[in-house]
Amino acid sequence: MVARFLISILLASVASAWGGGQSRQLCLRCHPVHYAERGGCSGCHRGNPASERKNIAHAGMRGGKYARFTLGDVREIKAGERLIDRFACRRCHVSGGRGNRLAVSLDDAAVRKTAGELALSIRRPVGNMPTFGLDEETVTGLVNAVLAQSQGREAVVAAPVRVHFTTSGKKNSDIFSVKCGGCHRILSQRLGAAGTGDVGPNLSGLLSEWYPRTYKSSEAWTSQNLRSWLKNPRESRPLARMLPVPLTEGELKELESIMAVYPEPIK
């Protein structure tokens, strides 16, 4: 009785191991095997290995160029990390658990979206993400970097981003929209998206560690540096095109509270 029970468990596990191998092989109806020593096709490419119909097998699939990160080449992963730094993606997004929560978490997006969709979002940004105008190789590098960073991370479902949109059609009257918004845009934890101008850089995350250190060419933007800049941009950057914007102490405080970045999203 016990022996039969044990044998049936043994048979079941052999069958499932064999069945697993069998279902993995459905990709192999059409493709030669490669990187077999590193596991099944879907571990690296996703897709549905249980179907032999191409459109089903390929659903959600990650093409070869977006699977490069799976090979674990340290140099390539470092290069991807440098891309994320160079374009300061973390001033708006969390990636690899680090960064501001002004837009969706890229760790979360990596789980929900296909690699192709991630690439499209970077190539043709929507909403308040800046257009970087990147070549395909750079986009591919960034997608690989986002996927590599997200590995082993749980999607943070319980941390929605709070973005407010004005629906009233009234012009925004906050200090950023009035004094800066004609030339700049910002994602603010307090206000959501503000500003409509593209003459000056997008200032999202300026007062956080993830904004490029562009004050006096290599310093971080602190409140103090921002105040000096507004008084006279040319003092720290002789060729600055921005003119001084004189603000009262009260206005500066309001501006800072709009530009401030908090570690957790405001509930």
> 171-230: which residues touch ligand HEC (CB under 6 A)?
179-180, 182-184, 187, 199-204, 206, 214, 226, 229-230
> Counting Cβ atoms within 10 Å, is residue 153 exposed (0-12), middle (13-18) or buried (19+)?
middle
| Span near ligand HEC by CB under 6 A; candidates 5-13, 74-82, 148-156, 232-240 | 232-240
What is the rounded distance in angstroms from the CA atom of residue 233 to the CA atom of residue 236?
6
Q: Tell me how far, at minimum, the Cβ of 47 lies from ligand HEC, in Å.
A: 3
- Count interface residues toward ligand HEC (CB under 6 A): 78
Q: Which of residues 234-263 bind ligand HEC (CB under 6 A)?
A: 237, 240-242, 245, 255
What is the rounded distance in angstroms from the CA atom of residue 210 to the CA atom of residue 77?
19
Task: State which residue, 16 or 182, has the beta carbon closest to ligand HEC.
Answer: 182
| The only residue of 148, 161, 191, 194 in contact with ligand HEC, by rule CB under 6 A | 161
Q: Which of residues 5-24 bind ligand HEC (CB under 6 A)?
A: none
- Residue 143 CB partners (closer than 8 Å, separation 6+): 66, 115, 118, 119, 122
| Span near ligand HEC by CB under 6 A; candidates 10-18, 28-36, 151-159, 164-172 | 28-36
Per CB under 6 A, 98 contacts ligand HEC = no
- Residue 257 CB partners (closer than 8 Å, separation 6+): 190
> Counting Cβ atoms within 10 Å, is residue 102 exposed (0-12), middle (13-18) or buried (19+)?
buried
Contact 55, 30 (CB under 8 A): no
Q: Which of residues 99-138 bind ligand HEC (CB under 6 A)?
A: 103-104, 106, 109, 113, 118, 121-122, 126-130, 132
Cα angle value 39/41/44 (rounded, 5°): 80
Tell me the HSE value of 22 on the side-chain side, using a 13 A CA sphere: 6
Task: State which residue, 9 or 202, has the beta carbon closest to ligand HEC.
Answer: 202
Q: Tell me how far, at minimum, the Cβ of 198 lies from ligand HEC, in Å.
A: 10
